[in-house]
């Protein structure tokens, strides 16, 4: 049981980071000039990319759990947008969830799958060469 909890700690930590960044009022957030929207939307993509990967890692990177990791990341994105509705100067955006959080999650899980397949094929190829 204790080992299962440790598997989920990185994902829980990422959820806390997302929560605390979202809890900052609009006046507390830095402005990045002409690149403000790009940097903030990129932050959405990176945050949820990491969260989806950490969920999948908690499921031991099982291929059949990849969709569950993606769904959990999207569900957390929805709750995070709801949370923002209570933060001064912030507002919820379904587009953040549908576009940026979703794309970050999908891209990271897709790249991890491709990388994992390549790594696995190199390992099995080296084993076959030795035999």
Q: What are the residues whose beta carbons fall under 8 Å from the beta carbon of 18, sequence distance 6 or more? A: 47, 48, 51, 76, 80
Look at residue 5 in the predicted model and tell me its pLDDT. Answer: 84
Express each pLDDT in 38-80 by its tens digit.
Answer: 999 999 999 999 999 999 999 999 999 999 999 999 999 999 9
d(CA 55, CA 104): 14
DSSP count for the chain of H helices, then E strands: 5, 0
The answer to whether residues 70 and 64 touch, using CB atoms and an 8 Å cutoff, is no
CA gyration radius, the chain:
18
- The predicted model scores a pTM of 0.87
Q: Per-residue pLDDT for 112 more than 70?
A: yes
């Amino acid at each position: 049981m204790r080992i299962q909890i440790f598997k989920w700690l990185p994902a829980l930590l990422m959820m806390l980071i997302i929560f605390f960044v979202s809890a900052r009022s609009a006046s507390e957030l830095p402005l990045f000039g002409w690149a403000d929207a790009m940097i903030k939307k990129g932050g959405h993509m990176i945050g949820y990319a990491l969260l989806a990967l950490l969920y999948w890692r908690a499921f031991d990177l099982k291929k059949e759990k990849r969709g569950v990791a993606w769904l959990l990341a999207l569900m957390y994105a929805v709750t995070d947008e709801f949370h923002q509705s209570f933060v001064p100067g912030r507002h919820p955006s379904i587009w953040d969830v549908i576009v940026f959080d979703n794309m970050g999650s999908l891209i990271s899980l897709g790249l991890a799958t491709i990388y994992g397949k390549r790594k696995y094929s190199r390992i099995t190829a080296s084993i076959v060469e030795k035999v």
